[in-house]
A and B are shown apart, each in its own frame.
Chain A
C-alpha cells in the first residue's frame, strides 16, 4: 500500500492503495463513487471512461481514459474528473444536457462513459475552438460502445452541446497536489510491493536493474488485462510515464539519415501531429488504433515492447526502417527494429534494459507509404492483418521497397521475398504477380478468432493487387472512402 494524492472533481484526495489498483477499483470500491461503470474491464467498451486533467501552460487539459485499465497510482498530482462531478449546483454540463435533450440514453449503462467522452471533446472545443469534423467526432466517440441507441442521438448530442451556454467552473483549475520527488533506488526491493515512478532515465534504469522481475508500465493498456482478465498479481511496477527523456520527440541525424527520435513513452495521441505532417498514412492508421481512450494512454514504446504479432505500429515502423534504442545502467545500444523481434512475444530486450527511444527516418524525396489494416470492424478493432508498403517510384521503376506485415507470422515481419520481387522492377502486373507468389515464401499465417489462414493469405495478396491498381490506374477507386486517407 502506498498513499497517492490527487484531485477528484476539484477536491483533494489522499488514498492508500496497492500497486495494482485501477482507477475504476479506486472509485467504486474505495471511494463509493459508482457513477463510473464496469462494462468489460478490458478497455474495449468505454463505460468506465473518466477524464484526467493535467496542468498545461494556461489551464488544465483533460484527456479521456478507461478507468478499468489505468493504474490509480498514475493519478498522483493529477485531476480525476468523473460523471459525478460534472453538474454544478444541479445544472447539467452541456454534455449531459445534450444527451438528455437528444434522447441519447436508453438503458443508461454506457451513458456515464459517453458523457465523459463528450466532456473531454467539449473541453477541447472550448479551449481550442476548431471545426467539429466527422473524423474528430468519430475519434472522440469510437471507444464508447452503446448497445441500445444505434448512436444517432449521441451524434446529435455531440453536435448540439457546443451551442449550449456554459461557464467553465473554477474547480476545473483547482491547484494540483505537488508530484512527489523523483524516486531512486539502488537496492533491490525484494518482494515488497511498489509502484515506482522514476522521473529520469538514470533513475529508471537503476530501478530496472534493482528489480528486473518488476513489470514496466506505461499506459497499461495491455499490461492491465493481466490483472483484470487473468487475475495476475501486479505488485511490483515501474512506471515509465514520467521519465522525462522518454517523453520527447526530437529531430536528429543518425547514420546520414535525417529523422526523429521518439521517446518510448510518447503516446499515440502525442504522435499524431508529427505523423499528420510527415506520414499521413501512419496518422490515418493511428485513428484506427484502439480508441481515443487507448490512444491517450498507449505508447509507441509499449506497442513495440509488447511484441504482439498483431500490434499496429511495428509493421509500419519496419517498413520505414525504424531503429530502437535500448538503455540500461551500463549504457545504450541501438538495433534495427527487425532485429528486436525474435519470436512470438520474445524480444532482444535484456532483463536490465528498457526501450528508451525509437528512431524514425524522415521520408526521402518521392517515397511513398501505404498502410492497410484489415479488421472485422473499422474502428477500435485489432488487425486480422496489416500491410505496410514503403517505396519510391523512379522513372517508372520501384526502388527502396520495404514491405512488412502484421498478423501473418509469429512476429511483425518484413516480406523479404515479396520486396525482392518488386525491387528494381517496373510497375507491371507480372512483377506484382511475382510478389504475390513470393508472399507464400514469406508467410504461413495461422487461423484464429480474427481471421482464417485462407483469408489472411488471400487478403495479403490482394493488398498487392490494390497497390498495383493504385499505381497503374490511379483514376479508379480502389479503396472505400471510409478506409482511404
Chain B
C-alpha cells in the first residue's frame, strides 16, 4: 500500500539517483548552501580558521560552539531533502540558516538564486513571505486563534484580503484533511491534528520551499507514520521543495529523495537512502544504519541481478533446453524482442517439446511469478518470493525485464554492509546464457 507513494512522481528523481558528478544546472536548484559555518561564541572567526585546518568541534570549544561546520549542498527543485542527525548535530541550526532566522558566520545560502547574506531585514522578510515557509516541531500555532486563522496567518502577513485568505486557508485545511475543524482552537485538537494545521499554514503560504524542522518528532509513532504518508501523498500532488530535519533514520529513509547525515556539525554523507545503506561513508554512518529496517528502504532495483537465463519467445525448444542445461537451472524467463516479459518455461516442458518435434516454445510459456517494479521495497517482495523457487522478475513500466531478485539475494540484502556477504560472486558473475540475438542487450 505504501508503494505508490514511495514511487517518485517522475523519472527525474530516479535518473538523479546515481548523482551526476557535475551537479545539476542552477535553474534546477531551489536552495544552495555553500561552505557554511555557524559558530556561536566569542571568537567565531578564529574558530572557523581552525576548523578549516581540520580541527574538530571539541578542539575549538574555547573559542565558541561550532554548530555547523563547512556545510555545502544543493537542494533540487521538487525533491525531499532530509537532514538527519542526532540532537546537537547542528541540523536545527542549519535549517534556520535556510530562511535567515540565523545568519551564517561564514559562507553563503542561496534561496531561488538570492544570496541571503546580501539581503537586508526587509528583503529577507519579503523572501520569507514569497519563497520559504516552515513547519515546527512543536507546531508553533497561535493558541488564541482558530484553526482557520492560524492557517491564514502567512497570507495575513502577505497582505492578502480577508475573504481571499480565508478561502485559501480553507483549501489548505481541506488538503491536509482538516475540513470542518476551521472554527476550533488549537488546544482542542490532538497533536497530529495540530501539526496538520502547521502543515496547512505552511501550504497556505504557497511558497516553493518548505522547511520542516523535526515536524513529526513530537507525534506518536502511529500518527507519525500517518503524517509521513500524507506528506508523501501531498508532495506527489504539489511538488514542493522540502527540506526535512529529523533524528529518526527510518523517517529519513522513508521520506528522503536524498539524505544528508550530520554529525558534530559536519555533513558526513549525502546520498539516497540506498546509497547510505549500501555504501556508508564511514563507520559512524555504518553503525547508524546498522539497525534500520533495510527491507523498507532498499528497493528491488538495488538488489536485483541479471537473470541467469533468458530465452526468446520466438526461439525453439532446443535452444531453450540447451540454455537451461548450460546455466544449470530448471526454468527460464521468456522475453520477446523488446525484452518484454512473457513468462517462464520449464526445462522438462522444453525437453518434452523437443522430443515431440515442436518448432517453438510459444505454447509452453507459463505465467510464473508476478513481476514487481524496480521501486518496490524489499518488504513487499517477500510474499512473491515465497511462492516460487524462481527468482522474482523485475520489470519496468513497459513490462520489460530489467532484472531478477533471487531469494538468496533478498536474504542477503538484510545483512548490513559491513558484514561479509557470501555467494555474491557466484551470482554476480553468472553467465548471461541467452542463446539468442537479444542476448546481453543492455
Tell me whether A and B are bound partners: no
User: Which positions in B face A, CB cutoff 8 Å?
Assistant: none
